[in-house]
Amino acid sequence: MKEYKSNNELLNHLLLKGVIVNNKKKAKRQFERYTYYSIVNTYKEVFKTTNSQYINGVTFEEIFSLYDFDKNLRSIFLKYALEIEIIIKSLVANIVAENYGIKDYLDINCFDANNNAKEKQIKYVLMMK
């Protein structure tokens, strides 16, 4: 298990590894906000040579830019994944309502009674309504 290091110690560690930090105060704020691990440890391999040394001239700002790009890309994917989920739920609701009506889908007799665990769960949900 690694020992705790303050943001100052982590910044100094990065500097000792040869990474250039143009704005130390801003780098420490980013460590506080996103954590050193999330920024540096996740993306450092992109900026290293085959012998695990940082490429000459690499800056913390470049590492953070990759982190920020990936964070924004994940946000875009999440936005559209949630949209797809809403559309699928709407389609399923329409199919169920069309086949069982808008009230009959709550009828326990419309479900497979061979699965006891599901039946108990369905009864519990219906009792909660």
pLDDT in tens, 55-108: 999 999 999 999 999 999 999 999 999 999 999 999 888 887 787 777 766 676
Give per-residue pLDDT as tens, 34-57.
999 999 999 999 999 989 899 999
Q: What is the pTM of this model?
A: 0.69
Lowest mean pLDDT among 22-31, 79-88, 105-114: 105-114
Buried b (16+ CB within 10 A) or exposed e, 67-91: beeeeeeeeeeeeeeeeeeeeeeee
Sequence length of the chain is 129
How far apart (Å, rounded) are the C-alpha atoms in residues 106 and 96?
10
